[in-house]
Amino acid sequence: MTRQEFDAFCATLPGAEHVVQWRGSSVWKVGGKIFAICSQWRAGEGEKIRFKCSDIAYRLLCERPGVAPSPYLARAKWVAVGADADMGEEDIRAYIREAHKIVSAGLSRARRREIGLMP
């Protein structure tokens, strides 16, 4: 998945907000909380897609080739998916969708209403 495809997909998620920060990283938030990032972590390294996941998904994903705990975010169950990962684009989209749900669920009811996630 390219950065442009990543950004286009994340833009379809309810209440998603995009910012560019941390040396040009494409950061996606819901209710002010980050759920996915596309960036180059180290010079010379290709861009990686990073997202929050459940405890079980974290353990399973970290066993797959091309997927690793995300630097500085692993303790919060974030993974980094490289271009060489053994994952199709639909799988990546499904995990990003789930990351959006996990982060959204942690928002207060008032905040979810405010951004249109609840009636």
Q: How far apart are CA 37 and CA 73, in angstroms?
A: 11
CATH at 79: 3.90.1150.30
Q: What is the pLDDT of residues 55-108, one digit of tens each?
A: 999 999 999 999 999 988 999 999 999 988 989 999 999 999 999 999 999 999
Residue 95 lies in a domain: yes
Q: In what order do the strands lie in the sheet with 16-21?
A: 16-21, 25-30, 33-39, 48-52, 78-81, 67-69
* Alpha carbon 14 to chain centroid, angstroms: 14
In total, how many domains does the chain have? 1
Residue 7 lies in a domain: yes
Structural domain range at position 86: 3-113
Residue 102 lies in a domain: yes
Q: pTM of this prediction?
A: 0.92
